[in-house]
Amino acid sequence: MKTMFKDMIGREIWLEKSPQRIISLVPSQTELLYELGAGDRVVGQTVFCIHPKSGFENTTKVGGTKKVKYDVIDALQPDIIICNKEENTKEIVETLAKSYPVWVSDIYNLKDNAEMILKIGNLVDQFPKALEIVKEIEKNFSYLTVEQKSTCLYLIWKDPYIAVAANTFIHEMLNYAGFENILGHKKRYPEIDLEAMKSFNPKYILLSSEPFPFTEKHIEAIQLIFPDAQVKLVDGEMFSWYGSRLVHAPEYFASMLM
């Protein structure tokens, strides 16, 4: 007898049993599967699924998040494939769904994140552990207190510069971390001219470690444009990896404005 599961974009998938051969095309959700105790069932993951290290080293790579190797996926014969609306393309989801059950998440805030963890926990018969993770995230975020927010510009790409605006998970995390996004009036990931941002006079310029790997060498050039701002490298995983990694995010956020 098949059981129906509904993903986060309203699609129904039917499974005859708890999936034993899982492919994940979302780095943060791959990590979650291991944290849930289902890591031994992950038979394929992307080259960006770097956590945990053991999984990255020992599990078959099926490509990236935007371009997958369909022949490798077919060889693995998965029971289910875990995707995300933003991380993966519509073409990938639709192509894979012709042959396999594909479960898609869609996450913008902590509420969505909790729903995703519980749904995936239920999907792999690890609901109690999923609930435990959700409660720990909620507890840790409840400790965050922000008396006054500091304005910021959060950059995720260079040449051209691309920043984070509203209607994104990172924007939500910036609020919890004590920052007011100067691009809160825009949406998603706008391409920007740094010179044009000078009039906003952000107190912080945050350079994410991913997807573009900003390093110390990029700070000087940006500091010349914003001489009065604090230009900081930040751990992009803490701002963009939903799932079990959020257990550790509040501690990181609390340390940033010290």
Q: What's the pTM?
A: 0.95
Higher per-residue confidence, 147 vs 133:
133
The count of other CB atoms within 10 Å of the CB of residue 10 is: 8
Q: Is the pLDDT of residue 159 over 90?
A: yes
Q: What is the dihedral of CA 13, 18, 24, 26, to 10 degrees?
A: 70
**Confidence at residue 1, expressed as pLDDT on a 0 to 100 scale:** 79
Residue ranges of domains in the chain: 3-140, 150-256
What confidence score (pLDDT) does residue 90 get?
Answer: 97
* pLDDT 10s digits, 30-76: 999 999 999 999 999 999 999 999 999 999 999 999 999 999 999 99
Dist. CA 117–CA 107, nearest whole Å: 11
Return the biggest CA–CA distance within the chain. 65
pLDDT, average across residues 112-141: 98
Q: Which CATH architecture has domain 150-256?
A: 3-Layer(aba) Sandwich (3.40)
For the chain, the average pLDDT equals: 96
Q: Taking Cα atoms as reference points, which of 155, 176, 177 lies closest to residue 221?
A: 155
Backbone φ/ψ region at 173: left (φ over 0), alpha (ψ -120 to 50), beta: alpha
Q: Give 54's DSSP letter.
A: H
Q: Given a cut of 80, is residue 257 above it in pLDDT?
A: no
Top CATH class of 3-140 equals: alpha beta
Write down the pLDDT at residue 256.
83
What integer is the mean pLDDT of 22-28? Answer: 98
223: enclosing H helix or E strand: helix 219-225
Average of per-residue pLDDT across 17-37: 97
Quote the pLDDT of residue 258: 62
Count of CA atoms in the C-beta half-sphere (13 A) of 135: 6
- Judge whether 3-140 and 150-256 match in fold: yes
Which pLDDT belongs to residue 31? 98
What is the rounded CA–CA span in Å between residue 209 and residue 155? Answer: 9
